[in-house]
Chain A
Amino acid sequence: MSRSTKALAAVAALTLALAGCANNDDGGSDNDNSSTPELEVQTSIDAPDDAVSPAGDGKAECPATTTLAYIGAETGPNAQLGINILNGIQLAVNEHNEANANCQVKLRKFDTEGDPNKATGPVTQATNDENIIGVIGLPFSGESKATGNIFEQAGLVHITPSATNPLLTTNGWTTFFRGLGNDNVQGPAVPVLAEKLDADKVYVVQDDSDYGIGLATSTTEALGDRLAGSDKVTTGQKDFSATISKILSAKPDAVFYSGYYAEGAPFNQQLVSKGYEGIFIGPDGVKDDQFIQQAGDASGNAYFTCPCVPGELITSFADAYKKVSNGAAPGTYSVEGYDAATVLLAGIDAGNQDRAKLKEWVKSYDAQGLGKALKWDETGELSELPVYGYKVQDGKIVSVGVIE
């Protein structure tokens, strides 16, 4: 580089820096809010060496009728979460079947639309099919609560990759296993994340789902006197003006929305368009690309908590996943779906090929998964688990690592 080009480069850099400042001055309402500390973005995670692979040793044998099922949302307003899970499961089943010529496990899908009122039908249908010996689902807390007894009566083991309401494991169900940390883990992470972002007062908005109510309760408890106020909204609501006007007069540093993206996205969009300049924090139910699509530029103020492993950062998994998802990167709970399916597939390979045996297999399972170690206690809960923090950066959700 000659001297003149160096000088030119320096001038250019200075101009850019000045331009950047100028931009910050007049457009400071977005995520370049100078008072919010930047959290470092995680760029990759190594897959654990000892993670169980669904492919197994390739020598498995099982009857041709052996079937696993996914029961959960394929359609409906929050379908994207279900699709993320389903693709993870499909990948595990594909890897298993490719490696094991003598054990071709079928995967059946039952759509609940994520609606507790519609879930009993598909679940009954699945439990009546004798060939189905294990289930991955149901993804949402409300529908899980509504159908747990049906699984229990049929003795059909099911691992939920995403239902996080803490009360689900207090029903005495022996067939219910939870493949991730519950809201009692996620709730306390909210004030910690807020603190990292210098947000003192947090306003909590909850929806009317089992998930939203449970999570709001544990978050409110964890916030203590840092709670700036709270309000309740409903599923399907599109006009949040009354809630927003209460929030704006309470002047919180952050708003925590305890619910799903279908309402969380328009809520945040309307909040920002009314001049709110603070931080938006959503839980795992809001953390989805659909949130960015629907909230538009307003999503620049958003952070998320999630007991989910950022699957897109595990390169080998992400590459394989894209082949079953038509090129889409792994989403929220893709890894959890994959790991849950792997547990069941490993059980089948080990000769547990009816409902009773497969249930016992899951109960005594103790091995490393792709996302985390999987070992369940009496009630079907995993031992305490890390919660990841995420944020929106340049229109994408990126991990900022484990919230501690």
Chain B
Amino acid sequence: MNQWITFDWEALGANFWSATVDGLTFGGIYALVALGYTLVYGVLNLINFAHSEVFIVGAYAIVFTLTSLGFGPSVPNLAWYAIAANLLLAVIFGMLAAAITAFIVERVAYKPLRAKGAPRLVFLISAIGMSFVIQYLIFVWRGPNPEPSVIMFKNEAIFDIGGTLIYFDSILIVTAAILMMVVVDQFIRRTKLGRGIRAVAQDPDTATLMGVNRERIIISTFVIGGLLAGVAALFYVMKVPSGVLYMGGFLLGIKAFTAAVLGGIGNVRGALLGGLLLGLIGNYGQILLGSAQWTDVVCFVVLIIVLMVRPEGILGSNLGKVRA
């Protein structure tokens, strides 16, 4: 064998801008899923390992909705506003399905254990259990293959920046991800429910004494995480029209969880930063090292370095510290 690792700076230079745009696009999707991990962690100090399945249920709902609206493997022959209306309908169903799944996960895997005061490790296991239960329920129902692909629209190049074509879907996804993040951030800073979430994150016992309904806050964070996962699912299906299968959420879930930790788990802005960074790092690393087999290695090396310097993630990890 010759060299087992080579650095292809020339390829990175030649593909820098397209790698950047694509990295940000997938990073936006990671970020939206990462929010679900971060919110639940902020409030409960627990990782919801079933969140990847919340996401994939949303993706199924979107594919089913679009298929029944007549979308399929060909670019739909519809005006842009008709497509937009259809996608809006699909994302509403996706958000609903994901939110309901998140609600059920909380009711089945978290609430009964919380009522009994179970140790933290038990929640972790019950969430992993829920993750498998949902995966294999889908498997039994839909079989081993992904759903047939659903093409949403003809993806046109909008800009040409120095030879790099910027496609419509990238612009849509990155803009929407940032927008959603601002909405969630403002929601947590400014609304009554947001104040309750922050209060429970800071000190659950005191918050309860002050009249905050802790159970309601917890269920709300699960549902908000689910709604965001539904939006992420729309963009995921847009980018990967044939990626919806029973285990399809698993890898993406790990990426999103990593993004949340990288940005600072429990921190809403950290989720966005972590997601976008992870998308970029993965893409640069893959081109530089000439193989997607390095993508995850590069991502995790960066994660470890960041955590060595800043153990709480780039932006710190406390949801409760956010000031209105």
Contacts and interface: CB of A to CB of B under 8 A. Distances in A.
B84 interface: no
- Closest 4 A/B residue pairs (Cβ): A296-B73, A241-B22, A294-B242, A232-B291
B18 interface: yes
B283 A241 contact: yes
30 contacts: A75-B144, A80-B144, A231-B290, A231-B291, A231-B292, A232-B293, A233-B292, A234-B292, A234-B293, A236-B251, A239-B239, A239-B240, A241-B19, A242-B283, A242-B287, A243-B286, A245-B15, A249-B14, A269-B242, A273-B155, A274-B165, A274-B167, A275-B157, A293-B148, A294-B149, A296-B72, A296-B74, A296-B148, A296-B241, A297-B151
Contacts of A293: 73, 145, 148-149, 242
B295 interface: yes
Contact of B295 (A234, A249, A292): A234
Contacts of B157: 275
Main secondary structure of the interface of A (DSSP, over half): helix
Interface in A45-98: 75-77, 79-80
Contacts of A238: 240, 243, 248, 251-252
Interface string B99-143: 000000000000000000000000000000000000000010001
A241 B243 contact: no
A292 B242 CA distance: 10
Contacts of A362: none
A245 B74 CA distance: 23
B287 A246 contact: yes
Contact of A266 (B22, B243, B295): B243
B75 interface: yes
Nearest to A288: B145
**Of listed B145, B148, B149, B293, residue having the most chain A CB within 10 A:** B145
A107 B185 CA distance: 60
Contacts of B243: 238, 266
A396 to B, nearest CB: 13
Contact-size category for A: 35 or more
Interface string A136-180: 000000000000000000000000000000000000000000000
B287 A237 contact: no
A240 B157 CA distance: 18
Contact of B15 (A233, A249, A295): A249
A249 B162 CA distance: 13
Given A238-B248, A241-B19, A241-B23, 20 more contacts: A77-B145, A80-B144, A231-B291, A232-B290, A232-B291, A234-B296, A241-B22, A246-B15, A248-B18, A262-B146, A270-B240, A273-B155, A292-B73, A293-B73, A293-B145, A293-B242, A295-B73, A296-B72, A296-B74, A297-B74
B73 A242 contact: no
A208 interface: yes
**Of listed B146, B149, B151, residue having the most chain A CB within 10 A:** B149
Interface of B: 11, 14-15, 18-19, 22-23, 25-26, 72-75, 139, 143-146, 148-149, 151, 155, 157, 165, 167, 239-243, 245, 247-248, 251-252, 282-283, 286-287, 290-293, 295-296
A290 B146 CA distance: 9
Given A77-B144, A294-B149, A296-B241, A246 B11 contact: yes
Contacts of B14: 249
A265 interface: yes
B292 A232 contact: yes
Contact of B149 (A231, A243, A295): A295
B170 to A, nearest CB: 9
A297 B77 CA distance: 14
A297 B241 CA distance: 11
A139 to B, nearest CB: 14
A118 B105 CA distance: 28
Given A242-B292, A296-B73, A79 B145 contact: yes
B165 A76 contact: no
Contacts of B75: 297
Contacts of B251: 236, 238
A232 B251 CA distance: 18
Interface of A: 75-77, 79-80, 208, 231-234, 236-243, 245-246, 248-249, 262, 265-266, 269-270, 273-275, 290, 292-297
Nearest to B11: A246
Given A242-B19, A242-B283, A296-B74, A237 B149 contact: no
A233 B245 CA distance: 19
A242 B74 contact: no
Contact of B292 (A79, A243, A270, A275): A243
B112 to A, nearest CB: 31
B4 to A, nearest CB: 13
Nearest to B148: A293
Contact of A269 (B11, B26, B72, B241): B241
Contacts of B241: 266, 269, 294, 296
Contacts of A274: 155, 165, 167
Nearest to A82: B144
Contacts of A79: 143-145
A35 to B, nearest CB: 22
A232 B294 CA distance: 9
Given A245-B19, A249-B15, A269 B149 contact: yes
A243 B15 CA distance: 10
A242 B74 CA distance: 24
Contact of B139 (A75, A231, A294): A75
**Of listed B167, B286, B287, residue having the most chain A CB within 10 A:** B286
Contacts of B11: 246
Contacts of B245: 77
A293 B240 CA distance: 13
**Of listed B239, B242, B251, residue having the most chain A CB within 10 A:** B242
B197 to A, nearest CB: 32
B151 A296 contact: yes
A70 to B, nearest CB: 16
B73 A290 contact: no
Contacts of A77: 144-145, 245, 247
Contacts of A239: 22, 26, 239-240
Nearest to B8: A246
B5 to A, nearest CB: 13
Nearest to A232: B291
Contacts of B25: 241
B288 to A, nearest CB: 10
Contacts of B292: 231-234, 237, 240, 242-243
